[in-house]
Structure 1
Amino acid sequence: MLAKLFPFPLRPGTQAEAERLARQFACAGPAREDGTQSFRIYRDPARPDYLLFVGHFADHAAYDRHTRSAAYQHLMAGKFADLILEFVEIDHELVVSH
């Protein structure tokens, strides 16, 4: 399993719009993709204009399919990308689960 973390600092005042796009994307993309095992988006109540995306994918091929999807291209690489200050992608591989 491949875990991807994306900490997104957002442009000031864009939290509500970013959350709206993120919800739309989660339903249109990850919820319908084979190989996307979970996809979660978190807000930090103490830090405005920030979101954390956490995705679990079967493997790198599943993640590649995810990023090539129409929903990803339109909403994440398109509209959402205009709201973020920095793009950081962090890979993790599962060691232990219970």
Structure 2
Amino acid sequence: MLAKVFPIPLQPGRQAEAEAVVRRFAPSGPGVEDGTLSFRVYRDPARPDFLLFVEHFADQAAYDAHTGSAAYQELIAGEFADLILEFVEIDHELVLEH
């Protein structure tokens, strides 16, 4: 399993727009991808203009298919990318699952 974490700072005042794009993306991207095991996006009520993505994929090929999809290219690499300050991608390895 491949775990990805994306702490994404947004342009000031763009939180609602960014969340709307993510809500549109979820059913047409991760919602239909066999290799996407989970796709979660969190908001921190104490930190405006910031989203935390936590995603799990079956393997690297599944992640590549996810980021290569038409929905990802249009909504995340397209619309969402215009709303962020910085794209940060962190790989994680599972140590313990309970």
- Give me the whole-angstrom Cα distance separating, in 2, the residues matched to 1:53 and 1:69: 18
- Return structure 1 stretches of 4+ with deviation > 4 angstroms: none
**Normalising to structure 2: TM-score of the pair?**
0.98
Give the letter for the 2:79 counterpart: K
2:10 is the alignment partner of 1:14 = no
**Normalising to structure 1: TM-score of the pair?**
0.98
Q: 2:59 corresponds to which residue?
A: 59
Q: 2:85 corresponds to which residue?
A: 85
Instruction: Describe the SS at the equivalent of 2:41.
Output: strand
- Give me the whole-angstrom Cα distance separating, in 2, the residues matched to 1:30 and 1:19: 15
Give the letter for the 1:87 counterpart: F
Q: 1:42 corresponds to which residue?
A: 42
Structure 1 unaligned regions, length at least 5: none
2:29 is the alignment partner of 1:29 = yes
Output one character per residue of 1:16-62: Cα deviation in whole Å (capped at 9) or x when no partner.
00000011111110010011000000000000000001100001110
- Give me the whole-angstrom Cα distance separating, in 2, the residues matched to 1:42 and 1:50: 9
Structure 2 unaligned regions, length at least 5: none
When the two structures are aligned, how many residues end up with a matched partner?
98
Q: CA deviation at 1:95?
A: 2.1
Coordinate RMSD, CA, aligned: 0.6
- Give me the whole-angstrom Cα distance separating, in 2, the residues matched to 1:83 and 1:71: 17
